[in-house]
Amino acid sequence: MVQLAVAGDVTEAEEIRTILASAGIDSELATAEEDDAFAVLVPESSLEAAQDAVEALTEPDELIDEQP
């Protein structure tokens, strides 16, 4: 499993997992290095599809990796 995103809390992490599940992509949660943060993990073979699914189903200003 590889890291797709880091969510600030469990609610955000579950929202990402819901998006992935709707796209048929398995995922897992793991604690991240930051306090109270969660890493969303996906199979390495699904990483690109997972990135596309999250980008397609979120607003541009909500994307975790594109914050200034």
CATH architecture of structural domain 2-61: 2-Layer Sandwich (3.30)
Tell me the per-residue pLDDT of 45-65, one tens digit each, with 9 for 90 and over. 999 999 999 998 876 555 555
Over range 12-34, report the average pLDDT.
Answer: 93
Antiparallel, parallel or unpaired: β 38-42 and 2-7: antiparallel
**Residue (of 44, 66, 16, 43) closest to 7 by Cα position:** 16
Distance (Å, whole) CA 68 – CA 30: 25
Q: Give the CA distances from residue 2 to residues 31, 53, 60, 61, 65, in Å, rounded to whole numbers and listed in that order.
A: 13, 16, 23, 24, 15
Please give the average per-residue pLDDT across 24-32, as a whole number.
95
